[in-house]
Chain A
Amino acid sequence: MVEELATRPPAAMLERKKHPMLVELVVRLVKEKPLALVGGFIVLVVFLTGVFADFLAPYGMAEVHPTEALSPPSVKYILGTDLLGRDLLSRIIFGARVSMIVGIAGASLNVLVATMIGLFSGYVGGKFDIVVQRVVDAFMCFPHLIIMLTVMSILGQGMLQLILVLGVTAGIGQSRVVRSAVLGLKENIYVKAAVAIGCSVPRILYKHILPNVMAPIIVIFTISMGNMILSEATISFLGFGIPPPAPSWGGMLSGAGRNYMMVAPWLAIWPGLALGIAVFGINMLGDGVRDILDPRLRGGLGRYDTATRKKSRDKKPS
């Protein structure tokens, strides 16, 4: 590989510059972060499972077989059935769809809210910024789960409400990350030049600032997706999320089925395992994306660090 690069460095470098950010991100993930790739693969599998749930699931998501309730794993029902005789595997497959919808929609809303607050608060600055930041401070005092459950109790159960609550609460907190990036950017000369030639504030924000905060925004998106899925499962587990007939991994672990877990342990194991694997995948992917895009958060283990790391290890007498 070294030889390959050595033979045609200029072409490779030129080509690399032309890539849009997302393509370059994927290329670097593949090249440098094998663990993130594993995570990305898991996310892809969960995503496709969600998209093609109708074809993959052997039974419908709410199809009941009352005579075969709580039957153990068998050829007919690979993971067994629940209290109402619904096939657990099918419900887990449809659960992937619920998780993915909540994860993607929630993370998008999170990013939108964080970007709007962060951009304006950071760019406008002054008194406006001070006021907005104090409100953000106040919001961040509330433990997430507490404020989410409180609002859910007022809005009522449902997927749309849940996405709204998850996205907005997380977005308010994450706006800090965007704001601090904007604070650094707005001192740049090109922004001052844009002001000097009379660009409007929205244009400056959209054309000059936003493209430069894309990196933290992508990081927020990937990392928050895992949190969204986990929060959805937790809230549904506590009974305030997605209402029962819809299959949510968290909801499947709660409710009436809980009383039968001693006789049907598969009810306790599989939904949680599916959730754990999905969240694991997203976290691994998110870690990789963060390492590449946001070097400040990387800590001591970066690409540029490889040399010093070796040196310091050699130095150690042990």
Chain B
Amino acid sequence: MLSYTIRRLLLILPTLLLVTIIVFTVIRLVPGDVIELMASEQEFISGKGAEAIRHALGLDAPIFVQYWRWISGIVQGDFGTSLWTGEPVIEEITRRYPISFELGLLALVMGLLIALPIGVYSAIRQDSAGDYISRSFAILCITVPSFWLGTLVMVLPAIWWHWSPSMVYIPFISDPLGNLKMFIIPSAILGMGLSGTTMRMTRTMMLEVLRQDYIRTAWSKGLSERTIVIRHALKNALIPVVTIVGMQLPILIGGSVILENIFNLPGIGRLFLQVINNRDYTVLSGINLIMAFFVLVLNVVVDLTYAFLDPRIQYK
């Protein structure tokens, strides 16, 4: 297990190298006239001319030198400085990531809290009215765009009850309850979007597992439905569900960009949109790289959780 873990982590490196090359190339595709435009936009803000921007992006050196400079900086934790504020990229990101992390984590928990019970119920009462309602709900969760739901939550309660979610960010340390209150709605919306797929996967896997011989054995032993469903069926049905949850991570990150923007949460997603608007390409490549790295590492973590869920899977 340990050697497998180490090998998996080492295998990240070649992929990560490719990831850096993609990020590097994409930013290099910025057309020259955009640099001129950035220069004219920024000249009166930071006094930087086109040449200075080229230098900051490292565009004034041969391409291999550029890549080497950039990558050796990143290895040492230096992602460059923002073209807009002049602040080191890494500082800006570390300041904001806890907010996105909290949103993502809460959304994940919410998503599972919605998906697992409904998915299990739907499977054990297959083809009942409740099953049909649950399945329709799952499709609804997948279909309704989160930005529309977010917009409706902003607009309708304000019209009906003159209530609207807080727009001023409350840090967790100063007011934990107010902070949670602020996060609960966006994370519920984000979680709803995730729960649809998970719910359907849970249902399908439960149906498959419930037909296995050992479930019949459990029934004939006279175990209660509760024990069978939770201890014998659910645990074995969860492996593909974990995969689905892992695969949804990119969707989770994308969704947090939308919801942070609607609900005014100053996380990475909001920073990302600001940065795109300002064409702040150093920060942009930093965010891209960190996101990709995060997804990569979490994929390995998901793979490793299989062993905990199913002792038959042994990594060697």
Chain A interface (Cβ < 8 Å from any Cβ of B): 134-135, 137-139, 141-147, 149-151, 153-154, 230, 233-234, 237-240, 250, 253, 258, 261-262, 265, 268-269, 271-272, 275-276, 279-280, 283-284, 299-301, 308-309, 312-313, 315-318
Contact = CB atoms under 8 A, between A and B. Distances in A.
Contact of B288 (A137, A147, A240, A313): A147
B159 interface: yes
Contacts of A139: 22
A24 to B, nearest CB: 25
B273 interface: yes
Between A150, A261, A309, A313, the greatest number of chain B beta carbons within 10 A of the residue's beta carbon is seen for: A150
A233 B250 CA distance: 18
A164 to B, nearest CB: 13
Contacts of B145: 230, 233-234, 250, 272, 275-276, 279
Given A147-B288, A238-B273, A312-B211, A272 B148 contact: yes
A180 to B, nearest CB: 15
Interface string B250-269: 11011101100100000000
A262 B291 contact: no
- Mostly helix, strand, loop or mixed at chain B's interface? helix
A255 to B, nearest CB: 12
Contact of B254 (A146, A233, A272): A146
A280 B143 contact: yes
A224 to B, nearest CB: 14
Contact of B18 (A134, A238, A261, A284): A134
B159 A150 contact: no
A49 B183 CA distance: 39
Given A145-B257, A147-B288, A301-B204, A268 B15 contact: no
Contacts of B59: none
A234 B148 CA distance: 9
B281 to A, nearest CB: 9
A250 B262 CA distance: 14
B3 to A, nearest CB: 22
25 contacts: A137-B15, A138-B18, A141-B15, A141-B295, A141-B299, A143-B250, A143-B251, A145-B257, A146-B287, A146-B288, A234-B147, A234-B254, A234-B258, A237-B147, A268-B156, A272-B145, A272-B148, A272-B151, A275-B148, A276-B148, A280-B139, A283-B139, A283-B143, A299-B207, A313-B127
Given A230-B145, A240-B276, A300-B208, A272 B288 contact: no
A300 B252 CA distance: 27
A299 B208 contact: yes
List the 6 shortest-distance A-B pairs measured between CB atoms, nearest first: A145-B254, A272-B148, A299-B204, A138-B18, A143-B250, A300-B207
A117 to B, nearest CB: 15
Given A142-B292, A145-B254, A313 B151 contact: no
B284 A153 contact: yes
Contacts of B148: 253, 271-272, 275-276
A134 B26 contact: no
Interface in B79-118: none
Given A265-B156, A276-B144, A279-B143, A144 B250 contact: yes
A146 B207 contact: no
Nearest to A280: B143
Contacts of B30: 154
B291 A142 contact: yes
